[in-house]
Amino acid sequence: MNNTSSQSAGNPTRDTDVAWLTGIFEGEGCITLTMAPKKNGDFAQVIASIANTDFAIIEMCGEILKAAGVGRHIGRQAAGKHRIKVLKQLRVTGFKRVAAFGELLMPHLVGVKRLQMQNALAFTYSRLLTPGRSGGKERTTKPYNARELWNIEIAKLLKGSPNDHTPELVDEINKIWSGLRRQYAEVAEMTTRPENGV
C-alpha cells in the first residue's frame, strides 16, 4: 500500500485503505435515512452500516475508521430464521459521525450508493447547521424543514441503479448535497479558526 493519505478528524488514513473500505461498503454496506416512531414523536435517524459473516473484514473496517477518527460500534447479530450464520455488524450513528464517515468515502463512491450517501449527507449537514440543537441528538432536532422531509422521502426511492432515476432528480440531489456541504465546511472552518485570525 502507498503512503498517500486522506484526512478525517485530524488523523491520516491511507487512501488505499479508504478505497478498500469503500469497496466493502459498496458491496456489503448501506446508508439509511428513516423516520423512527417514538413515544414522544417521530424523529429522523441516519445510520451507516456494514455487515458480514467474515468477522476479520468487519474488524478491518473498524480499524480503518479508528485511524480516521470516525466513531463506530461493532456488534454481533445472531443467526435467525432467514440467516444460518452469525453476522458481525459495524454501525456509524449520530450526525457528526455519519458526516465524517460520508466525507471519508465520498471520493470513491459511485452508482446508487453515492446517490444514497449524498441524500443522507444533505439531511445530516442540514441538521448540523440547524441553530439551537442540543447535544447533537437526532430526537432533539425537530421540527424538520421541507427540504429535510424531502430528503427522507427521496431516501425511500433511491434503490437500484442511478439509471433508474431521472437526470433531474440526480442533479437535484447533487446540487443540494454540494451546497449544504459547502455551508457546513465554512461553519466548521470558522469554529476552528483562532480568534486572532492567524
| Domains of the chain as residue ranges with CATH | 5-192 (3.10.28.10)
Q: For residues 50-74, give the mean pLDDT.
A: 96
Quote helix, strand, coil % in the chain, to nearest 5: 50, 20, 30
Q: What are 79's strand-pairing partners?
A: none
What is the rounded distance in angstroms from the CA atom of residue 94 to the CA atom of residue 137? 7
Judge whether residue 80 has pLDDT over 70. no
Give the model's pLDDT for residue 159: 83
Nearest to 142 by CA among 47, 71, 36: 36
Judge whether residue 197 has pLDDT over 70. no
Q: What are 90's strand-pairing partners?
A: 50, 74
Whole-model pTM: value is 0.84
Give the model's pLDDT for residue 1: 39
**135 or 35, which is more confident?**
35
| C-alpha pair distances (Å), 9 with each of 59, 68, 163, 177, 197 | 20, 7, 34, 20, 21
End-to-end CA distance of the chain: 36
Please tell me the least confidently modeled range out of 3-7, 40-44, 163-167: 3-7
Q: Which of the four pLDDT bands, split at 50, 70 and 90, describes residue 134?
A: very low
φ, ψ for residue 31, nearest 5 deg: -125, 120
Give the model's pLDDT for residue 36: 79
Give the model's pLDDT for residue 182: 97
Q: For residues 5-23, give the mean pLDDT.
A: 72
Give the model's pLDDT for residue 147: 95
Judge whether residue 82 has pLDDT over 90. no
Give the model's pLDDT for residue 83: 59
Cβ 90 vs Cβ 50: under 8 Å: yes
Judge whether residue 9 has pLDDT over 50. no
What is the rounded distance in angstroms from the CA atom of residue 108 to the CA atom of residue 18? 8
How far is C-alpha 28 from the geometric centre of its chain's CA atoms?
15
Could you tell me if residue 161 is left (phi over 0), alpha (psi between -120 and 50 degrees) or otherwise beta? beta
